[in-house]
Amino acid sequence: MRVLLVGSGGREHALAWAISASPLLETLWCAPGNPGIAEHATCVPIPATDIAGLVRFARDHAVDLVVPGPEAPLVAGLADACAREGIACFGPSGPAARLEGSKAFAKEVCLAAGVPTARASVFDDAEAAIAHVRREGAPIVVKADGLAAGKGVTVAATVEEGIAAVEAAMRARVHGEAGARILIEECLAGEEVSFFALCDGTHAVAFGSAQDHKRVGEGETGPNTGGMGAYSPTPRFDREAERRAIETIVTPVLAEMKRRGSPFVGVLFCGLMLTDTGPKVLEFNVRFGDPECQVLMLRLMDDLLVAMRAACDGMLDRFSVRLGPEAALGVVLAARGYPGTPEGGTEIRGIEQAAALPGVTIFHAGTRREGNRLLAAGGRVLTVCATGADLAEARSRAYAAVDRIDWAGGFCRRDIGWRALSR
């Protein structure tokens, strides 16, 4: 198969790594890619949001399958544009991608499908939203309705923090137009889990779970980020829990999307809170998570390309996904200043030595090459991953690799996996 992968982050590097292992693969391109992806694919300088350019490339190069990594091209209609050219795309149509593109729409679908979720109100007016925060009290959750690169959620511990989050989103527009509309939700208590399912519009199969670490600081402190690390499997979400999630969450959502005329094809990422009364949906994403994708790909025992094609062909009722028994843990190395303005252009050394350690795989995200030098070129720059017989071994190996990397301009959290390992 001839495959075009879209994106340039750590998630896309992990997907390229997994796709390149398929015996069905003939050629793999990535637009625009990064230096790590270039080890597995031919990178082409087309931005991930250039829908016309991506489809033109796919048509001109007889691409059999387009694999979008990030959410923005899906929300912009990449799958629809591919369909018009008769090109298979592993991802939802623009209308179906609204499950991530609009949190208000996702909430509406959950309620229509009878899926348990946090109680929420939607606001287009800042004064009304502030009055609601004062009335409800804290803790309370403020969410930008649109795409905000994983940074549009504030869990406010006080009323003052909640009001500040409303003003930042709706008045200061720190999230751009994504914050013109907001949701204000009840703050659910429990433990968060990221659960993934492959979907073909009608059927769904579990693709495993992971736990992300969203806040920039150790002990879950500081502002939210796109994710500072992840591990898989999650101790509190076993195969039986996955089966129930498919039955009570994913399948009803697929049925509701099909009823609305927008069947969902691709991977559905269910952000869940494990409450005392069972899992409740916090949000949906319409792609693999980052950094969750990295640890899931390390555990995958099946051919990813076959699984993606089965989803596109509506054949997941004949399919299942096997993940290995080993644990995987990933630590994000970020540039100083992240999640604000990251420092760019600093040199990174020692990656080859780190990657040579047992069980270690390093995925590039925000990097670029300048001659023989590897430089930081983004906020989240590398995901240093490792597998092990258990989570403790995976974590030990991952941090041993982190310590081999010489990068004065970077930082990481030192407590990835703390929740599971503290039990």
Evaluate if residue 392 carries a pLDDT over 90. Answer: yes
Query: What 3-state class would DSSP assign to 405?
Result: coil
Question: What local confidence, expressed as pLDDT, does residue 197 receive?
Answer: 98
The arrangement of secondary structure in 2-89, i.e. its CATH architecture, is 3-Layer(aba) Sandwich (3.40)
Look up residue 403 and give its two tokens: 């310590």
pLDDT band at 293 (very low <50, low <70, confident <90, very high): very high
Distance CA 153, CA 227 (A): 13
Whole-structure pTM over 0.85, yes or no? yes
Tell me: the pLDDT tens digits for 164-193? Answer: 999 999 999 999 999 999 999 999 999 999
Radius of gyration of the chain (CA): 20
Tell me: the pLDDT tens digits for 238-249? Answer: 999 999 999 999
Look up residue 409 and give its two tokens: 């301009």
Distance CA 133, CA 347 (A): 45
Taking alpha carbons only, the member of 45, 50, 86, 42 closest to residue 68 is 50
Question: What local confidence, expressed as pLDDT, does residue 224 receive?
Answer: 83
Q: Note whether 31 and 66 are within 8 A (CB).
A: no
Distance CA 254, CA 369 (A): 42
Q: Write the CA distances from 146 to 31, 72, 182, 239, 283, integer angstroms.
A: 24, 11, 8, 32, 12
Question: What local confidence, expressed as pLDDT, does residue 419 receive?
Answer: 87
Question: What local confidence, expressed as pLDDT, does residue 423 receive?
Answer: 73
Question: What local confidence, expressed as pLDDT, does residue 290 receive?
Answer: 96
Look up residue 330 and give its two tokens: 């990933």
Which residues contact residue 422 at a Cβ distance below 8 angstroms, ignoring those fewer than 6 apart?
Answer: none
Tell me: the pLDDT tens digits for 204-216? Answer: 999 999 999 999 9
The arrangement of secondary structure in 125-180, i.e. its CATH architecture, is 2-Layer Sandwich (3.30)
The arrangement of secondary structure in 189-318, i.e. its CATH architecture, is 2-Layer Sandwich (3.30)
pLDDT band at 406 (very low <50, low <70, confident <90, very high): very high
Tell me: the pLDDT tens digits for 370-382? Answer: 999 999 999 999 9
Task: Determine what percent of the chain falls in helix, strand and coil, rounding each to the nearest 5.
Answer: 35, 30, 35
pLDDT band at 148 (very low <50, low <70, confident <90, very high): confident
Distance CA 345, CA 328 (A): 30
Distance CA 293, CA 216 (A): 19
Q: Note whether 66 and 4 are within 8 A (CB).
A: yes
Question: What local confidence, expressed as pLDDT, does residue 242 receive?
Answer: 96
Domain boundaries, the chain: 2-89, 125-180, 189-318, 327-421
Mean pLDDT of the residues in the chain: 96
Evaluate if residue 152 carries a pLDDT over 90. Answer: no
Tell me: the pLDDT tens digits for 88-139? Answer: 999 999 999 999 999 999 999 999 999 999 999 999 999 999 999 999 999 9
What's the whole-number mean pLDDT along residues 311-339? Answer: 95
Tell me: the pLDDT tens digits for 229-238? Answer: 999 999 889 9
Evaluate if residue 151 carries a pLDDT over 90. Answer: no
Q: What is the CATH number of domain 327-421?
A: 3.90.600.10
Which amino acid, 74?
L
pLDDT band at 223 (very low <50, low <70, confident <90, very high): confident
Starting from the edge strand earliest in sequence, which strands make up the sheet with 27-32, in order?
Answer: 42-43, 27-32, 2-7, 65-68, 88-89
